[in-house]
Structure 1
């Protein structure tokens, strides 16, 4: 079992990856921190200038130099604090963007088995939480933890100079008690936050499931049932959110109690613990300096909770912060000879789908896979691109399929699944997707060659028609034509079709498949149900009763392969 990342490791990765390795952020940090140090010291120096103003008022005299110095310190303090915040906010935003990109890349790079273990709502929440965690972590340290440390350091120095070590000791003891209470209550809050995250994931998955099954819900009039399930899940979110909110008020009460006790102790010590009574100017200095501590500590409590929440979100789903995506595809790999399966066995759980199958497919073969529904045709096809685990051997040009990198495999195989889902963009953008820098003329020529051009130009804006979310503004047949055209333009060695023409009318299906299958060097492996297309293929694989066997076209069209084995 993988050990969870330590907090210090997460911090190291965040500051290394998203600050030190980012050129712009790296250049910003040194001048920003230098400005922060000057700003905090100037802010604390304001207490001394406030004391001087009090002395001047008490004496009844007016000193222009004192007023100017007070004004200068006050203005410089405000300007420097805002300037460093103005520049440093860019660091957190850049961290958010890069972490968002990296986390999405992590999920897109998962093998299908692991990817399918996550709900889409869970993935969406994870991407947002981890990117927000990186931004929060950067903001917490740069905008609070380090400035708070500087404030306490400079305050201790000024208080020691003005009021002695005993008051400094009271301040620092109060800070320690404040931090201990904050940590204790925040740890309890974070237990609630973990449960809230789990409840939100479940709720998000339920919502996505309902939205994806809109037509079923509409047809069965089951809206009330769906809303009841969703509302039940939302109740858990409501409960944990309420507990977290209440704990924040408890935290605020505890923190202000410590602050109140510290202020009272300092005032009593200043008034009764010294042989000399406190002066008006010293009391003014004390009010100002304790106000700075209150401001720093009050914000620190909120920021510490933010820090702990960021740590939890950074660890969500056990994804290592240091995990990153591969650098890209290797040199393109081509199929030169054949694909050979030997004693191929595919299981799903305890169920055996394909058992001891052996067959070979030569370069340029056009192979039809047939069989009844549920016989394992799609399972067999997906095994060729490692979407399913298998036992036995699958060889590509005498190289074990399992030894091929995902990049090499993807460079030789293009797979079109049953679900014809498009990106929410134009037809042209979907055709060009992952196809490099194609010229429009190349696309038009290929589209005419396989017989999809006429139907595309009949769309509202032709190739620049918006397809809508998942392509829902187009018919199933139009979506399949776009996917086929994109696959052909990719010029892979092998084309896998999982009923990828099933939504086309018979005439269009025959015309397009005929054009595709005439490409000599292209190896095509297609699952089909329309047996009228069998004559277009030179090899037929029948999947039946866990077995895969090569059959002749005559047998398929004759009595030997009847409706019990083929749908």
Structure 2
């Protein structure tokens, strides 16, 4: 009971400390982006979509928070756990078990990377359609009087629905490809688990392992499957977060037509 309470306390303390650091960094970055947008000339803002800019900043800020938390709470602990499990299996059962573990993880990672790269284009199209729909809605509501004056509500609704249809198609492709990715990940782990059980059974028959070792191998693999399954989801979300961050940081690279300087030359006296 004391150990469980202590573990929960340290976990919450970790979240609290990380939140303070992460939120402070995100606030400063968002402020810099906001100031940079104000430093750009009028032509940039007239040619840009206000709703899309707002969504880009919001998603970029959330992306920074997710990437930082994923690295600290998921990626590094998972790498440590995989290394620890592989070492235990190599020491207790043999290098064949560790080899199967490493090979299955490598296959899992390669499959996840390949499918995720393929899925990225669907996610980009979905974001683009969402930006267009949001911009259309905001611009239409801002120009409410003009829309009402020309009795143009149906046309505006049709235009908004057109962008929503694009978002729907991209979202369906994203969901379908996600189902394929999840199925492939489960299939890879199931094959690896079956191979480990066959190896363990042969070693038991040969008298090199006991039934307890078989239970240990099974338990370690299932323990390893939890962060691996979560790691797949984290990788997909990190990819999306990086795309959102790239969109926001692209705004920071937008050059200003007029650059203000901090100091100016002293005025020249004409007398």
Common fold: TM-score over 0.5: yes
Name 1:136's counterpart in structure 2.
66
d(CA) in 2 for partners of 1:72 and 1:95?
35
1:330 aligns with 2:246: no
The structure having more radius of gyration, on CA atoms, is 1
Deviation (angstroms), 1:85: 3.9
More helix per residue? 2
Contact 1:192 1:240 in 2 (8 A): yes
CA displacement, residues 517-544 of structure 1 (integer Å, 9 cap, x when unaligned): xxxxxxxxxxxxxxxxxxxxxxxxxxxx
TM-score, normalised by the number of residues in structure 2: 0.86
Contact 1:160 1:167 in 2 (8 A): yes
Name 1:456's counterpart in structure 2.
none
The gaps in structure 2 that reach 5 residues or longer are none
d(CA) in 2 for partners of 1:233 and 1:196?
10
1:444-463 matches, cutoff 5 A = none
Deviation (angstroms), 1:312: 1.4
1:213 aligns with 2:130: no
Structure 2 vs 1, CA of residues 172 and 81 (structure 1 numbering), >3 Å: closer, same or farther?
A: farther
CA displacement, residues 484-543 of structure 1 (integer Å, 9 cap, x when unaligned): xxxxxxxxxxxxxxxxxxxxxxxxxxxxxxxxxxxxxxxxxxxxxxxxxxxxxxxxxxxx
CA displacement, residues 310-350 of structure 1 (integer Å, 9 cap, x when unaligned): 2211222771768899xx8735889899xxxxxxxxxxxxx
Name 1:226's counterpart in structure 2.
156
Name 1:289's counterpart in structure 2.
220
d(CA) in 1 for partners of 2:60 and 2:138?
20
Name 2:232's counterpart in structure 1.
301
Alignment size in residue pairs = 266
d(CA) in 2 for partners of 1:82 and 1:157?
30
CA displacement, residues 435-493 of structure 1 (integer Å, 9 cap, x when unaligned): xxxxxxxxxxxxxxxxxxxxxxxxxxxxxxxxxxxxxxxxxxxxxxxxxxxxxxxxxxx
d(CA) in 2 for partners of 1:299 and 1:133?
18
Q: Which residue of 123, 148, 154 maps to 2:84?
A: 154
Name 2:171's counterpart in structure 1.
241
In structure 2, the residue corresponding to 1:315 is in which secondary structure?
helix
Deviation (angstroms), 1:242: 1.8
The gaps in structure 1 that reach 5 residues or longer are 1-70, 338-396, 398-567
Contact 1:99 1:134 in 2 (8 A): no
1:166 aligns with 2:96: yes
Contact 1:259 1:294 in 2 (8 A): yes
Contact 1:103 1:130 in 2 (8 A): no
Deviation (angstroms), 1:177: 0.4
d(CA) in 2 for partners of 1:244 and 1:334?
60
d(CA) in 1 for partners of 2:60 and 2:28?
11
1:99 aligns with 2:29: yes
CA displacement, residues 9-32 of structure 1 (integer Å, 9 cap, x when unaligned): xxxxxxxxxxxxxxxxxxxxxxxx
Q: Which runs of 4+ in 1 moved over 3 A?
A: 71-86, 89-92, 320-325, 331-337
Deviation (angstroms), 1:223: 1.3
d(CA) in 2 for partners of 1:73 and 1:270?
33
Contact 2:51 2:131 in 1 (8 A): yes
CA displacement, residues 186-221 of structure 1 (integer Å, 9 cap, x when unaligned): 111111111112212211221122112101222232
CA displacement, residues 99-119 of structure 1 (integer Å, 9 cap, x when unaligned): 322222221121222232211
Contact 2:60 2:248 in 1 (8 A): no
Name 1:252's counterpart in structure 2.
182
d(CA) in 1 for partners of 2:177 and 2:110?
15
TM-score, normalised by the number of residues in structure 1: 0.43
1:276 aligns with 2:213: no
CA displacement, residues 350-409 of structure 1 (integer Å, 9 cap, x when unaligned): xxxxxxxxxxxxxxxxxxxxxxxxxxxxxxxxxxxxxxxxxxxxxxx9xxxxxxxxxxxx
1:177 aligns with 2:107: yes
Structure 2 vs 1, CA of residues 252 and 79 (structure 1 numbering), >3 Å: closer, same or farther?
A: farther
1:84 aligns with 2:14: yes
Root-mean-square deviation (CA, aligned residues, Å) is: 3.0
Contact 1:92 1:136 in 2 (8 A): no
More strand per residue? 1
d(CA) in 2 for partners of 1:165 and 1:84?
36
In structure 1, the residue corresponding to 2:47 is in which secondary structure?
coil
Name 1:403's counterpart in structure 2.
none
